[in-house]
Structure 1
Amino acid sequence: MSDYEDRIGRTIRLELSDPDLLEFEAKVLQATPEGIVLDRSAFYPGGGGQPPDEGTLTFEDKTTSIIGVQKENDLRLIPALGDPLPQVNMTVTARINAPRRLALMRTHSALHLLSGVIFRDFGALVTGGNMEPLSARADFNLTEIPTGFKETLEETCSREILEDHQILTSRQPREIALSIPNIIRTATNLLPPELEIIRIVDIVGLDTQADGGTHVTSTSKIGQMTITKIENKGKGFRRVRFTLS
């Protein structure tokens, strides 16, 4: 569905079709201390465990820091307290905090790779998770784990990273997407019932699942992954923590 247009309210979303887009121009539709609404935006608003982007808006000779993003009826960029606000209909130059975005893309892709490995090798689903730039945790419904699980898991993930699997995205109507075997990798289906078009992230040859975040384009771009801790959360749940170098 190459002609599909991602939107939140009045704002066209750019980051899902082009996650490497880190600078763009846009027209201001609304500007208050509570939020700035643009006609187009590459700021990821957060969701699925991935934090929202940060960055700046530049207009005339002024710069406003964007410290968060919220999605309600519109996608609102949250300005730093006291920073100047652009005028409605003004064109601004927006810049995403590039090191932070890239770190989150790598981390999100690493989470998918991890869940793909654990699902393939142990049949376990994700029950929770969270990420920060270059570190994350994921919970799985793993009742038992073998001796040496931590070391084996790290070796397997490292091998899959080096395999340089392509990471592709596509969109499908809900009925078609949900007919794909194991497309939902969480123990509970978290897809909003009103969502008619499903975005799919495919680590080719390893993992395919519904997802709405930003990712790198191949597993080799994830970098070195270290499994730092395996925690027993009780009742057949294990928490896996990892970092990226």
Structure 2
Amino acid sequence: MTSDLHGRTQRLELSDQNLRDFEAVVLDSTPEGIVVNRSAFYPGGGGQPADHGVLLWQGVETRIVGVRKGDDLHLIPAEDDPIPPVGTVVRAAVADERRTALMRTHSGLHVLCGVVFRDYGCLVTGGNMEPMTARMDFNLPEVPAGFKEAVEAACNAEVLADRRIDVRVLPREEAFAIPDIIRTATNLVPPEVQEVRIVDIDGLDTQADGGTHVASTKQIGRVKVTKVESKGRGFRRLRIAISD
């Protein structure tokens, strides 16, 4: 299996994160899910939710409200929407505002991760995001005085630095030779994965990641640390919001 193939579906978003419109052929079709031969819908993972959008075919619109992973990628149609028959050529559109917001948010989390690792040596223990808001958990035993304000200021300094964000795929052995490539307390890359997708914020953060990102930190916008919470002894949750 190639790195950009999931079952019978070529994942277009892995090589072009700005792609929003594409044509595809329906390979399987039920009210529970539609399988196409190529897709730019991000299927979710790493805390990033799946994309939404539409399929247009024969003058009909089918709303896509999620993606289910299995042996194939199944685009989930809205309840009671018409379903394109197998063999239909569809024009697909990923919901641009939602995807762009999630890209900004995901990149913002990587800036947060890079700052907290660099300045406090903490690893990530969990995280989740919605468009323009997110949380990330760290193994931080004590919260230093002024921590919330210092992290926010450092994140926004990295945004203003306009650091380039690059994505590349490396063989597993080469990827794991990069120091600190896993920024989570537990290695979440399955052993059967032999090609590892790397997201690199130039000079700040390099880690294995499968999500979608903006091209530079300046495109993230302002990062606000809205809250620091205790999640048990030695663990802290940072909540952030992204704004223009």
Aligned to 1:197: 195
Residue deviations 1:168-210, cap 9 Å, x none?
0001111111111100000001111110100000000100000
Residues 1:149 and 2:136 aligned together: no
Contact 2:3–2:195 (CA under 8 A) maintained in structure 1:
no
Aligned to 1:240: 238
Q: Which runs of 4+ in 1 moved over 3 A?
A: none
Aligned to 2:135: 137
Contact 1:35–1:77 (CA under 8 A) maintained in structure 2:
yes
State the one-letter code of the partner of 1:87.
P
Aligned to 1:187: 185
2:87 to 86, 89, 92: 89
Contact 1:5–1:12 (CA under 8 A) maintained in structure 2:
no
Aligned to 2:103: 105
Count the aligned residue pairs: 242
Aligned to 1:128: 126
Distance 1:5 1:60 in 2: 32
Distance 2:55 2:152 in 1: 40
Aligned to 2:229: 231
Moved more, 219-228 or 229-238: 229-238
State the one-letter code of the partner of 2:197.
R
Residue deviations 1:85-112, cap 9 Å, x none?
1121111000001100000000000001
Q: Per-residue deviation at 1:233?
A: 1.5
Aligned to 2:42: 44
Give the secondary structure class of the aligned counterpart of 1:104: helix
Contact 2:148–2:225 (CA under 8 A) maintained in structure 1:
yes
Length-normalised TM-score, structure 1:
0.97
Aligned to 1:160: 158
Q: Per-residue deviation at 1:5?
A: 4.9
CA RMSD, Structure 1 to Structure 2 (Å): 0.8
Contact 1:135–1:244 (CA under 8 A) maintained in structure 2:
yes
Identity of aligned residues (%): 61
State the one-letter code of the partner of 1:98.
D
Distance 1:127 1:14 in 2: 30
Distance 2:64 2:27 in 1: 16
Contact 1:27–1:90 (CA under 8 A) maintained in structure 2:
yes
State the one-letter code of the partner of 1:80.
A
Residues 1:219 and 2:217 aligned together: yes
1:171 to 165, 169, 177: 169
Residue correspondence of structure 1 range 22-37 to structure 2 within 5 A: 22-37=20-35
Distance 1:181 1:5 in 2: 23
State the one-letter code of the partner of 1:141.
N
Residue deviations 1:44-90, cap 9 Å, x none?
00000000000000001100000110110001000111111112111
Distance 2:33 2:98 in 1: 21
Distance 1:240 1:164 in 2: 23
Distance 2:174 2:142 in 1: 34
